[in-house]
């Protein structure tokens, strides 16, 4: 009968219930948020005359000692205490006596856990944004070195038009910039304090919610207590934001896996970030991007899990909500290590420019340019130009050469309107540099994009 809520019970909880009901094994991760929340709450209670200055002093000293005990590993986390809130309060009361029992005035575990978890999510939101910016910095360095490195741009995983590798990297920078903006907008929306909502309906005590909100760094207080104690949108948002970020990471990872294969050989991951095979001595495997791709699925699982937990919950707090934490912790930790290792893998990988260039010599990458020439210089309608170019591609296939290497006489045999000024149109580099419309691949446009992302990271 050592439970804090055991007043109305006459028999002890079974140990099976303790095991099933407890969250202390995982929510202890929130100890810092929990103690800071209690310090802010107690400070506000004292300011409002609900606690004496003496009681506040005892609570502050006691909570600081609990914090030290937790950080030094001395603190005893007991399943029978159910969750960290009760574990900490119990230890506080053991240390300071009656003042400890007053801490929970005008508060419930429902607003307490909402404060702790929300603040954890907000802190991790900030840390992930910082890590994303570091990753962007590394990709940006790579992009700026390769604004003239030709590679085949693809659609349907087929050679389409020549681009430069820096431009390709700028596509990922665009995705990661959107991710950062998504995290930041979630931060702004969710940076409001649940503290003082108490169990569900507010409290009759004369509290000052704005004061505790300010101490905790929130930008304001929530509007409706009934919603606030059961709102987990902030947790869903970080899961969605991490999922989308991981989806982007998995796309880049997929390309790194492909590019590391003998078929492509566009990049070589460093030995530090590659693995071997236990049976095939010759192998060097891209386990890092493969795992990044795989971990994306696991993060989606956490998002679907919490959406499903929240589905159809009646107002207000329900114990179902205790299932919100493990998936978020796992997704956050997955995001943190993924961002770190992807950054290192990219930093240390080698780009095989020569192989990228050779790949541009298959697949007739300048075919669109020939069609554009026919339109621009010969006044031929695009549909007809497309057909004539198709003939030129077929001729090149027959000659077993790339369209960029075809001789003028062959082209003129297909259509006499083609003149010598077609030659520059067939060059792969010219083709890339011709795409100079806004946001295009031309080296000058790629350099502008790089500058845009540099400014974004500086802001
Ligand atoms: N451990 C609980 C959770 O994580 C804390 C809130 C408990 N509230 C309650 N009314 N039983 O959700």
Integer Cα distance of 61 and 257 in angstroms: 54
Q: What is the pLDDT of residue 359?
A: 97
Judged on CB neighbours under 10 Å (0-12, 13-18, 19+), 409 is: exposed
- The string of pLDDT tens digits covering residues 246-257 is 999 999 999 999
Residue 359's contacts (CB-CB under 8 Å, 6 or more residues apart) are 151, 152, 159, 264, 266
Among residues 156, 278, 437, 438, which one is catalytic?
156
- The string of pLDDT tens digits covering residues 126-156 is 999 999 999 999 999 999 999 999 999 999 9
Question: pTM higher than 0.85, yes or no?
Answer: yes
- The string of pLDDT tens digits covering residues 160-177 is 999 999 999 999 999 999
Q: What is the pLDDT of residue 282?
A: 86
Confirm or reject: Cβ of 111 under 6 Å from ligand 1: no
Residue 96 has pLDDT above 90, yes or no: yes
Residue 47's contacts (CB-CB under 8 Å, 6 or more residues apart) are 208, 211
Q: Please indicate whether residue 146 is annotated as part of the active site.
A: no
- The string of pLDDT tens digits covering residues 50-83 is 999 999 999 999 999 999 999 999 999 999 999 9
Task: Please name the residue whose Cα sits nearest to atom 2 of ligand 1.
Answer: 322
Average pLDDT, the chain: 97
Residue 1 has pLDDT above 70, yes or no: no
- The string of pLDDT tens digits covering residues 370-417 is 999 999 999 999 999 999 999 999 999 999 999 999 999 999 999 999
Q: What is the pLDDT of residue 350?
A: 98
Residue 2 has pLDDT above 90, yes or no: no
Residue 445 has pLDDT above 80, yes or no: yes
Strand partners, 285: 275
Burial per residue of 229-244, b for 16 or more beta-carbon CB atoms within 10 angstroms, e otherwise: bbbbebbbbbbbbbbb
| CA of residue 110 to ligand 1 center, whole Å | 6
Q: Please indicate whether residue 277 is annotated as part of the active site.
A: yes
Residue 277 has pLDDT above 90, yes or no: no
């Amino acid at each position: 009968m050592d439970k804090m809520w055991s007043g109305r019970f006459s028999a002890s909880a079974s140990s099976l219930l303790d095991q099933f009901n407890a969250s202390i094994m995982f929510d202890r991760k929130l100890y810092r948020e929990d103690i800071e929340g209690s310090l802010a709450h107690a400070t506000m209670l004292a300011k409002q005359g609900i606690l004496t200055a003496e009681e506040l002093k005892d609570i502050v000293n006691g909570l600081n000692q609990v914090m030290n005990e937790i950080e030094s590993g001395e603190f005893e986390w007991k399943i029978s205490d159910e969750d960290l809130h009760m574990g900490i309060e119990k230890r506080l009361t053991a240390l300071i006596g009656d003042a400890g029992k007053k801490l929970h005035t005008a508060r419930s575990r429902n607003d307490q856990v909402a404060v702790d978890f929300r603040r954890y999510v907000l802190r991790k939101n900030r840390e992930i944004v910082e890590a994303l910016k570091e990753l962007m910095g590394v990709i940006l360095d790579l992009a700026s070195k390769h604004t003239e490195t030709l590679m085949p741009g693809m659609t349907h995983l087929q050679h389409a038009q020549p681009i430069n590798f820096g431009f390709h990297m700028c596509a990922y920078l665009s995705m990661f910039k959107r991710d950062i903006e998504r995290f930041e907008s979630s931060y702004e929306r969710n940076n409001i304090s649940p503290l003082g909502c108490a169990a569900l309906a507010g409290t009759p005590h004369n509290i000052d919610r704005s004061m505790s909100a300010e101490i905790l760094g929130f930008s304001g207080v929530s509007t409706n207590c009934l919603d606030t104690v059961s709102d987990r949108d902030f947790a869903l948002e970080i899961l969605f934001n991490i999922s989308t970020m991981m989806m982007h990471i998995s796309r880049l990872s997929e390309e790194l896996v492909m590019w590391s294969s003998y078929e492509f050989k566009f990049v070589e991951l460093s030995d530090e970030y590659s693995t071997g095979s236990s049976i095939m001595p010759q192998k060097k495997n891209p386990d890092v991007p493969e795992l990044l791709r795989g971990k994306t699925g696991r993060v989606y699982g956490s998002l679907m899990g919490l959406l499903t937990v929240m589905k159809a919950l009646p107002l207000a707090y329900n114990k179902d909500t205790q299932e919100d934490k493990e998936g978020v912790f796992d997704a956050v930790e997955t995001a943190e290590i993924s961002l770190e290792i992807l950054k290192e893998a990219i930093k240390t990988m080698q780009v095989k420019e020569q192989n990228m260039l050779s790949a541009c010599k298959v697949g007739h990458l300048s075919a669109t340019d020939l069609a554009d020439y026919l339109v621009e210089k010969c006044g031929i309608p695009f549909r007809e130009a497309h057909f004539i170019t198709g003939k030129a591609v077929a001729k090149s296939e027959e000659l077993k050469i790339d369209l960029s290497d075809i001789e003028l006489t062959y082209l003129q045999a297909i259509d006499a309107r083609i003149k010598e000024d077609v030659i520059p149109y067939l060059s792969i580099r010219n083709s890339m540099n011709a795409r100079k419309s806004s946001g295009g691949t031309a080296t000058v446009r790629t350099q502008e994009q790089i500058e845009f992302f540099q400014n974004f990271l500086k802001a």
